[in-house]
Amino acid sequence: MSRTRRTRTLGTSSARRRLLRSALASGAVLAATLTACSGGPGGSDGKAAGAAEMKGKTAMAVSVNLTGNAAKAGGPVKVTLTEGSKLAQVDVTDAKGGRLTGRISADGKTWTSERNASPGTAYKVTARDSAGTSADAQFTTAAADRVNKITITPGKGSVMGIAQPLSLVFDNPVTNKAEVEKHLKVTTSNNTEGSWGWMKDYSGKDRVDWRPREYWKSGTDVKLVMELNGVDSGKGGGYFVRDYETGFKVGRNQRIAVDLDSKTLKLTRDGREVKSIPVSAGTPGGQKASWEGKLVVMAKEGTIRMDSQTVGLGDAYDKMVDYSMRLTWSGMYAHAAPWNAGAFGRANTSSGCVGMSTSNAADLYGEVQPGDPFEVTGSGSKGKPDLGNGYSEWNLSWADWQAKSALKGSTTQG
């Protein structure tokens, strides 16, 4: 194995180091053998500094898995002391002021970063041993061939209902699910127990949600830190090149319940009924039936155009609809339906949505929070929606939900 070395001796007191940088073409180790003067008295004198160099000799190596002349991202940075005293301090920084934190081993011979090196990033390593000898090394990681990104729900600073999960949808496939999951940290103000669960989103993309064991307690503060910079999402997915963060507050403790048999919608708050509204839900016996089970109000979308062709129902309808509250990605809403007034409280005749009068829809719209549970019971439904069609994880038992975690069903508390 051949190796090329370049040595430069610096004589001023501000740069009393010799830096040797070496890139191995085989791609195993980026090595830097460093000779530096001690920082004792007389170091500002050029001649004394030269003498100190001869005595204060130390060797270090930075290991980061090379590809050609650039270090490969996706692994920790490792600094090894091969001669001299024990390591006392190691700093690894990038050009933007970012820092990789790490730990020195018990024997003082190695330092390993807690985070992976990020793609396309220039790093500087400054190491000091217990004798006061210091040295620098530099390396640059190769740019990522492919970058993975995330769509995060809910947005930072939101106020959400008691059924709102944390939900991450990935632009590219995630095959290293366990590796990604262990870099997602949820903390709450009251040590809420919960778990991550993986699924295919309705869009077909990989998705992971974090839901509590039970509905959130009102007033809970939730924070999610995603330390993903430098993490490889696996084959076809690429690297993440940044960290993410979000957080929200749990709002009022309220629930919406629809009984398909009585054709009634009830809004309760803190266990007390606030509103009872006659409704007409989906027509039983086919694709126009409503979904049942524990759904979640995904968003308040207001006035929207509803076109039956977009949900596979031919030309059944195409109209502007007011006070629309989304319940599934496949197109189930609660909304105003004044054209169906004769059926409210009497018959389920809609194309799958839960319709009500304009005045009742306006009142409900004003009370509802995104994230409120929307529970549909009774006969004549078309069953429960698929897991990724909205936030349907509440239809799974706690044990079944834990099994969706890539980390052997582990739970998270914060």
Which of 253, 114, 105, 95 shows the shortest CA–CA distance to 185?
114
Report which of residues 294 and 304 the model is more confident about.
294
C-beta of residue 128 within 8 angstroms of C-beta of residue 344:
no
Q: Is the pTM value of this prediction over 0.95? A: no
Report which of residues 312 and 244 the model is more confident about.
244
Tell me, what's the pLDDT at 74? 81
Final residue belonging to a domain, choices 140, 175, 205: 140
Q: What is the spatial distance between Cα 147 and Cα 118, in angstroms, rounded to a whole number? A: 11
Final residue belonging to a domain, choices 226, 251, 276: 251
* Amino acid found at 284: P
| Residue 99, strand partner residues | 93
CATH number, domain at 181? 2.60.40.3710
CA dihedral 51, 57, 63, 67 (to 10 degrees): 50
Tell me, what's the pLDDT at 57? 45
Tell me, what's the pLDDT at 76? 87
3-class state of residue 95 by DSSP: coil
- 353 pLDDT more than 80: yes
- The answer to whether residues 105 and 45 belong to one domain is yes
3-class state of residue 142 by DSSP: coil
Average the pLDDT over 394-404 and give the result.
97
User: How many other CB atoms are found less than 10 A from the CB of residue 189?
Assistant: 14
CATH number, domain at 60? 2.60.40
Share of the chain above pLDDT 70, in %: 79
Strands across the sheet with 30-32, in order?
A: 22-23, 30-32, 59-63, 76-83, 110-116, 102-104
- Taking the alpha carbons of 302, 164, 247, 402 in that order, is the dihedral positive or negative? negative
Tell me, what's the pLDDT at 341? 97
Q: What is the spatial distance between Cα 128 and Cα 136, in angstroms, rounded to a whole number? A: 9
Q: What is the spatial distance between Cα 40 and Cα 35, in angstroms, rounded to a whole number? A: 15
What letter would DSSP give residue 272? E
Q: Is residue 34, in this structure, part of any structural domain at all? A: yes
Which of 340, 337, 267, 264 shows the shortest CA–CA distance to 297?
267
Tell me, what's the pLDDT at 72? 75
3-class state of residue 310 by DSSP: helix
- The answer to whether residues 243 and 154 belong to one domain is yes
pLDDT band at 411 (very low <50, low <70, confident <90, very high): low
- The answer to whether residues 242 and 293 belong to one domain is no
Tell me, what's the pLDDT at 412? 60
Of the listed ranges 73-77, 341-345, 377-381, 409-413, the one predicted with least confidence: 409-413
Report which of residues 320 and 406 the model is more confident about.
406
Average the pLDDT over 30-48 and give the result.
32
CATH number, domain at 338? 2.40.440.10
Tell me, what's the pLDDT at 408? 76
- The answer to whether residues 37 and 123 belong to one domain is yes
Q: What is the spatial distance between Cα 87 and Cα 108, in angstroms, rounded to a whole number? A: 5
Average the pLDDT over 73-89 and give the result.
84
Query: Domain count of the chain?
Result: 3
Q: Is residue 409, in this structure, part of any structural domain at all? A: no
Average the pLDDT over 289-304 and give the result.
97
- The answer to whether residues 243 and 285 belong to one domain is no
3-state helix, strand, coil in the chain (%, to 5): 10, 40, 45
Final residue belonging to a domain, choices 115, 140, 165: 140
Q: Is residue 57, in this structure, part of any structural domain at all? A: yes
- The answer to whether residues 259 and 382 belong to one domain is yes
- The answer to whether residues 259 and 245 belong to one domain is no
C-beta of residue 167 within 8 angstroms of C-beta of residue 186:
no
Report which of residues 65 and 397 the model is more confident about.
397
* Amino acid found at 79: V
- Copy the structure tokens of residue 164: 């709102």
Q: Is residue 405, in this structure, part of any structural domain at all? A: no
| Residue 221, strand partner residues | 249
- The answer to whether residues 120 and 215 belong to one domain is no
pLDDT band at 138 (very low <50, low <70, confident <90, very high): confident
Which of 119, 102, 115 shows the shortest CA–CA distance to 67?
119
- 65 pLDDT more than 70: no
Average the pLDDT over 91-109 and give the result.
93
- The answer to whether residues 264 and 330 belong to one domain is yes
- 352 pLDDT more than 70: yes
Q: Is residue 120, in this structure, part of any structural domain at all? A: yes
- The answer to whether residues 259 and 390 belong to one domain is yes
Average the pLDDT over 273-291 and give the result.
95
Q: What is the spatial distance between Cα 327 and Cα 18, in angstroms, rounded to a whole number? A: 65
- The answer to whether residues 290 and 215 belong to one domain is no
- Copy the structure tokens of residue 79: 């600094």
pLDDT in tens, 164-180: 999 999 999 999 999 99
- The answer to whether residues 389 and 340 belong to one domain is yes
pLDDT in tens, 375-384: 999 999 999 9
Q: What is the spatial distance between Cα 266 and Cα 255, in angstroms, rounded to a whole number? A: 8
Per the structure, the complete domain to which residue 47 belongs is given by 7-140
Q: Is residue 404, in this structure, part of any structural domain at all? A: no
Tell me, what's the pLDDT at 56? 36
Of the listed ranges 111-125, 216-230, 329-343, the one predicted with least confidence: 111-125
Q: Is residue 370, in this structure, part of any structural domain at all? A: yes
* Amino acid found at 400: D
- 386 pLDDT more than 80: yes
Q: Is residue 401, in this structure, part of any structural domain at all? A: no
Tell me, what's the pLDDT at 248? 98
pLDDT in tens, 241-269: 999 999 999 999 999 999 999 999 999 99
